[in-house]
């Protein structure tokens, strides 16, 4: 039997050897020799930094792994201007003015364009770290902030307080309606807009406030404008009163039921969960049967008191076996 195992062992060793072999970086043609970029690892991590360095080199940029006198542009992520200066002092750099200190968004813009882009004010760390002048009016503040909002969700900080709930609630209704219609493009458009407005540290009160914001298409803009002027959106109101939307809203709240099943039930003339329960000819899956049976329990919100009670039971049980264990409620109640 050993002779039959040998090939598998050898093969496994070969795989392990390949996994542990360092991958040699390929040499790429340098197209933009006037730009010598150094990407700071601070607050970024080694793996992400290596990926970005390799990406930059593939695009024709000269990206140095070490800080040197030849570097012209220093790119940082989640670091303020002062933090970068402190880091440079730690590297025994006395004159930081010879570098362009830039946010990672500049590097991202270069990668998208496939060439160097101008290091505008919105990319410069020095400009970003400075507070707006004291004489800046409140009307100018949102526009100033909007120019610094990233189009990528992973690069945006989302406030615990949603200052634009009347807009984001409307967007989520529209996104859900398009999801029921299986229109992924428009669904994603409204979901992105909702995510974006949730991240804003101010309330949108005029169309000027959304100038420069990414992910704001014509449909989104029209709804924002109507809500600002009228207090509500006629399109959203129409969706909320739509019979199909209301039926799909109920059906998809049943555990195990998606858009396809909802469409089938709607075509059968069913409009509510109660009508589904009364329809004896329906063939339901195990999940759907459970969803119907425990519908009221599953759609009702868990109270804080109930969550605390469950936490107490789990904590006492765990501590019986592991006295030093730490049990913490996670999810919505942690927030």
Model pLDDT for residues 178-196, shown as the tens digit of each residue? 999 999 999 999 999 999 9
The residue that leads in pLDDT, 27 or 2, is: 27
Global confidence as pTM:
0.54
The Cα angle at residue 10 between residues 4 and 11, in degrees rounded to 5: 100
DSSP H helical segments within the chain, as ranges? 2-20, 46-58, 81-90, 104-113, 125-129, 140-146, 165-180, 184-199, 218-230, 234-240, 243-251, 259-267, 273-278, 286-293, 295-299, 304-321
Assigned domain for 10 exists: no
Average model confidence (pLDDT) for the chain? 83
**Is 186 in the same domain as 248?**
no
Query: What backbone phi and psi angles, to 5 degrees, belong to 253?
Result: -80, -5
**Is 180 in the same domain as 222?**
yes
**Is 286 in the same domain as 256?**
yes
On whether the CB atoms of residues 109 and 59 are closer than 8 A, the answer is no
The residue that leads in pLDDT, 330 or 242, is: 242
Count of domains in the chain? Answer: 4
pLDDT at 4: 43
CB-CB neighbours of 314 under 10 Å: 12
Distance CA(236)–CA(223), nearest Å, equals: 8
Give the range among 120-124, 142-146, 169-173, 285-289 with minimum mean pLDDT.
142-146
CATH number of the domain where residue 67 is located: 3.40.50.10190
Query: What backbone phi and psi angles, to 5 degrees, belong to 105?
Result: -60, -30
Mean pLDDT along residues 298-323: 89
Q: What is the radius of gyration, based on Cα positions, of the chain?
A: 28
**Is 70 in the same domain as 93?**
yes
pLDDT at 225: 94
CATH number of the domain where residue 283 is located: 1.10.150.20
End-of-domain residue from the set 192, 220, 240? 240
**Is 294 in the same domain as 312?**
no
pLDDT in tens, 43-56: 888 888 998 999 99
With tokens 């991202």, the residue in question is 108
pLDDT at 145: 57
Mean pLDDT along residues 308-317: 91
**Is 40 in the same domain as 96?**
yes
Partners of 103 in the β-ladder: 76
pLDDT in tens, 117-134: 887 677 888 644 344 444
Domain hosting residue 318, numbered range = 304-333
- Cβ partners under 8 Å of residue 279, min gap 6: 268, 270
pLDDT at 155: 78
Mean pLDDT along residues 207-230: 89
The DSSP symbol for 2 reads H
Partners of 38 in the β-ladder: 64, 74
């Amino acid at each position: 039997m050993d002779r039959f195992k040998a090939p598998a062992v050898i093969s496994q060793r070969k795989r392990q050897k390949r996994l542990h072999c360092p991958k040699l970086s390929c040499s790429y043609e340098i197209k933009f020799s006037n730009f010598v970029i150094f990407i700071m690892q601070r607050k970024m991590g080694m793996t992400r930094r290596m990926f970005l360095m390799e990406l930059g080199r593939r695009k024709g940029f000269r990206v140095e792994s070490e800080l040197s006198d030849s570097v012209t542009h220093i790119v940082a992520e989640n670091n303020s201007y002062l933090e970068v200066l402190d880091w440079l002092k730690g590297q025994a750099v006395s004159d930081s003015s010879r570098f362009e200190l830039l946010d990672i968004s500049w590097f991202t813009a270069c990668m998208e364009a496939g060439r160097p882009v101008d290091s505008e004010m919105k990319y410069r760390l020095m400009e970003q770290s400075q507070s707006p002048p004291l004489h800046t009016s409140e009307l100018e503040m949102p526009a100033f902030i909007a120019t610094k909002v990233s189009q990528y969700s992973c690069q945006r900080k989302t406030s615990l307080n949603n200052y634009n709930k009347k807009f984001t609630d409307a967007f989520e209704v529209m996104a859900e309606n398009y999801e029921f219609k299986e229109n992924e493009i428009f669904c994603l458009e409204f979901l992105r807009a909702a995510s974006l407005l949730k991240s804003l540290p101010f309330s949108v009160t005029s169309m000027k406030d959304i100038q420069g914001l990414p992910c704001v298409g014509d449909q989104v803009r029209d709804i924002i404008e109507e809500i600002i002027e009228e207090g509500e959106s006629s399109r959203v109101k129409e969706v909320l009163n739509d019979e199909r939307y209301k039926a799909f809203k109920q059906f998809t709240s049943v555990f195990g039921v998606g858009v396809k099943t909802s469409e089938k039930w709607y075509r059968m003339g069913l409009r509510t969960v109660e009508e589904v329960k009364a329809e004896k000819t329906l063939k339901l899956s195990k999940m759907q049967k459970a969803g119907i049976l425990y519908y009221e329990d599953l759609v009702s919100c868990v109270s804080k008191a109930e969550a605390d009670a469950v936490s107490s039971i789990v904590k006492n049980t765990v501590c019986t076996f592991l006295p030093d264990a730490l049990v913490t409620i996670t999810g919505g109640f942690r927030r």
